[in-house]
Amino acid sequence: MLVQENHRRSVVDLGCSRFGHEAIVTDVLQQGGEWRVRFQGSYWHAWCMQSMVELQSNQRVSVVGRYNNVLLIQPISSS
């Protein structure tokens, strides 16, 4: 179990096999801080693992972890 400090929140990566999959941003709740995403047919609140990121509605993101009922996401690079 990996524990790290991010945005003054204790983040736990449970190593679950569903991490690394894609989600779709459905709503921007607080730009640079909180979004709502659709992941595996359900809607989740999400925090980004990178600071100062601007994600837009309908953007694909990668799910990299979970903290309680919040998914931890990061943008998918376009390279």
Domains defined along the chain, listed by start: 2-75 (2.40.50.140)
Q: What residues contact residue 36 under an 8 Å CB cut-off, 6+ apart?
A: 25, 26, 27, 29, 43, 44, 45, 46
- Separation between Cα atoms, residue 31 and residue 28, nearest integer Å: 6
pTM for the whole structure: 0.74
- Residue written as tokens 């993101």? 61
**14-44 residue pLDDT tens:** 455 556 689 999 999 998 889 999 999 999 9
Return the closest-CA partner of residue 11 out of 72, 62, 53, 75: 72
Span 40-58, mean pLDDT? Answer: 92
- In this predicted model, which residue has the larger pLDDT, 31 or 5? 31
Output the six-digit token pair for 69.
């009922």
